[in-house]
């Protein structure tokens, strides 16, 4: 890539002086120009190509593909399981964040570090590891098999993978808010006669709600688009355990670019909606609570 060479130099961008508020610091033209050019080449133009291709199909073209039974089934699988996984992560993520923030116990630092593993571990590695554990002869799969519970190669397996990859989001959004939460509001609640349970339910949890919802939305968004960790454990049965991203890959392999584009356009729209939802949530939280 030779973007740097083609990036406009500071003075070459005549609008810069009026465009930004005057500042003594140099380099705005150079860095702003390079950053926007780079972002355009790497992110915006490729995404625009997708939007262009999708608009060629027309809204009814996309609608026709989106309502095909197999696509509908995949959308249902992806959204339903992503929602369930994000919900599980909201509950357990809150517990993990609480424990890591409020209690001191041996191994806490290690536990804290482990939370980020799903961010750091390549998804394909997580996928084959989860498949191995939950296969009928795996560590957990063999424990569940006598009860007739099959995890790997069923929708339940997808759920497990989506819990894994969404795990850090709620923990990491709640932790800083919980750490900043003034202990005095809990004491105030106690002096007013509230039991510990009432204090947690009426004071602590409502204060954490925006952070939990943000974490939920992030985990959900990530789960809907997830591919690598899911395909190994999913079984990938059409109508049953086939996720939307996999459907895109299948369309591509069949050289059905229109189908792939239409499904991708739907996912892109969903990504933007969830991004918007998260931003609105944080703006609301800032306005109401004075923190993020």
Partner 1 sequence: MSEQAADDISGTPAGGPRRLRPRPAVAETAAMRALLIATAIGFLGLFVVLPLVAVFVEALRRGIGHYLETFADPDTQAAIRLTLTVAAIAVPLNLVFGLSAAWAVAKFDFPGKSLLITLIDIPFSVSPVVSGLVFVLLFGAQGVLGPWLAAHDLQIVFAVPGIVLATVFVTVPYVARELIPLMQEQGVSEEEAALTLGASGLRTFLTVTLPNVKWALLYGVLLCNARAMGEFGAVSVVSGHVRGLTNTMPLHVEILYNEYNFVAAFAVASILAGLALVTLVAKSLLEWRYGDALGRSRLY
Partner 2 sequence: MTRSAAAGYTDLVDTVAIRAEGLEKRFGSTPALTGVDLSVEPGELVALLGPSGSGKTTLLRIVAGLEQPTAGRVFFGGEDATFVPVQARRVGFVFQSYALFKHLDVAENIAYGLRVRPRRLRPSRAEIRRRVADLLDLVQLSGLERRFPSQLSGGQRQRVALARALAVEPKVLLLDEPFGALDAQVRRDLRGWLRELHERTGHTTLFVTHDQDEALELADRVAILDRGRIEQVGTPDAIYDGPATAFVAGFIGESVRLPVTVTGDGLHIGQHVLSIATTVAPGPASLFVRPRDLVPAATRAAGLPARVTGVRRAGPARRAELMLGDGLPGIEIELPADISVARGDMLAVQFRTVRLFSA
What is d(CA 66, CA 152) in angstroms, rounded to the nearest whole number?
27
Closest to partner 1 by CB, 115 vs 212, is 115
**Given 207, 214, 241, 261, the residue binding partner 2 (CB under 8 A):** 207
**Given 75, 90, 203, 244, the residue binding partner 2 (CB under 8 A):** 203
**Given 49, 114, 202, 284, the residue binding partner 2 (CB under 8 A):** 202
Which residues within the stretch 200-239 sit at the binding site for partner 1 (CB under 8 A)? 218, 221, 224-228, 232
Which residues within the stretch 125-184 sit at the binding site for partner 2 (CB under 8 A)? 182, 184
Closest to partner 2 by CB, 52 vs 185, is 185
Closest to partner 2 by CB, 70 vs 196, is 196
Give residue 175's Cα distance to chain centre. 17
Which residues within the stretch 57-76 sit at the binding site for partner 2 (CB under 8 A)? none
What is the maximal distance between C-alpha atoms in the chain?
Answer: 73
Task: Kindly write down the DSSP assignment for every residue of 194-223, as one continuous string.
Answer: --HHHHIIIIIHHHHHHHHHHHHHHHHHHH
State the virtual CA torsion across 228, 234, 238, 240 in degrees, nearest 10: -130
Which residues within the stretch 38-97 sit at the binding site for partner 1 (CB under 8 A)? 38-39, 42-47, 49-50, 52-53, 92, 95-96
**Residues 155 and 173 sit within 8 Å (Cβ to Cβ):** no
**Residues 202 and 194 sit within 8 Å (Cβ to Cβ):** yes
Kindly state whether residue 116 participates in binding partner 2, applying the rule CB under 8 A.
no
CB of residue 97 to partner 2, shortest distance in Å: 18
Closest to partner 1 by CB, 118 vs 155, is 118
Token pair of 289 as six digits: 């609570």
Placement of tokens 């890959």 in the chain: 249
CB of residue 199 to partner 2, shortest distance in Å: 8
Kindly state whether residue 20 participates in binding partner 1, applying the rule CB under 8 A.
yes
From residue 123 to residue 142, what is the string marking binding to partner 1 with x (rule CB under 8 A)?
A: xxxx-xxx-xx----xxx--
What is d(CA 98, CA 200) in angstroms, rounded to the nearest whole number?
11
Kindly state whether residue 102 participates in binding partner 2, applying the rule CB under 8 A.
no
Task: Kindly write down the DSSP assignment for every residue of 83-108, as one continuous string.
Answer: HHHHHHHHHHHHHHHHHHHH---TTH
**Residues 233 and 127 sit within 8 Å (Cβ to Cβ):** yes
CB of residue 138 to partner 1, shortest distance in Å: 8
Kindly state whether residue 156 participates in binding partner 1, applying the rule CB under 8 A.
no
Burial bucket for residue 9 (CB in 10 Å: 0-12, 13-18, 19+): exposed
Which residues within the stretch 260-289 sit at the binding site for partner 2 (CB under 8 A)? 287-289
Closest to partner 1 by CB, 209 vs 277, is 277
- 13: alpha, beta or left? (left if phi > 0; alpha if psi -120 to 50): beta
Kindly state whether residue 159 participates in binding partner 1, applying the rule CB under 8 A.
no
- The size of the interface with partner 1 (CB under 8 A), counted in residues, is 106
**Residues engaged in binding partner 2 (CB under 8 A):** 182, 184-185, 187-195, 198, 202-203, 206-207, 209, 287-290
């Amino acid at each position: 890539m030779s973007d740097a060479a083609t990036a406009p130099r500071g003075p070459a961008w005549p609008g810069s002086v009026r465009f930004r508020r005057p500042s003594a610091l140099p380099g705005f033209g150079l860095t702003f120009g390079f950053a926007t050019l780079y972002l355009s080449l790497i992110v915006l133009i490729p995404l625009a190509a997708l939007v262009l291709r999708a608009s060629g199909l027309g809204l009814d073209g996309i609608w026709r593909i989106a309502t095909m039974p197999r696509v509908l089934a995949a959308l249902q699988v992806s959204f339903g399981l992503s929602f369930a996984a994000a919900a599980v992560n909201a509950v357990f993520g809150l517990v993990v964040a609480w424990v890591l923030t409020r209690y001191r116990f041996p191994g806490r630092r290690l536990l804290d570090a482990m939370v980020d593993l799903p961010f750091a571990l390549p998804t394909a590695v997580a996928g084959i590891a989860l498949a191995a554990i939950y296969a009928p002869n795996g560590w957990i799969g063999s424990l569940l098999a006598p009860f007739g519970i099959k995890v790997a190669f069923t929708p339940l397996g997808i759920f497990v993978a989506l819990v894994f990859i969404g795990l850090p989001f709620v923990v990491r959004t709640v932790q800083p808010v919980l750490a900043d939460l003034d202990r005095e509001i809990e004491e105030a609640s106690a002096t007013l006669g509230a039991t510990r349970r009432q204090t947690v339910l009426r004071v602590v949890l409502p204060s954490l709600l925006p952070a939990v919802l943000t974490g939920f939305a992030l985990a959900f968004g990530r789960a809907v688009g997830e591919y690598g960790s899911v395909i190994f454990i999913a079984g990938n049965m059409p109508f049953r355990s086939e996720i939307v991203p996999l459907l895109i890959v299948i369309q591509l392999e069949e050289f059905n670019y229109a189908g792939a584009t239409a499904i991708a356009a739907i996912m892109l729209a969903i990504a933007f909606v969830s991004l918007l939802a998260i931003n609105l949530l944080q703006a609301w939280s800032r306005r109401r609570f004075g923190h993020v």
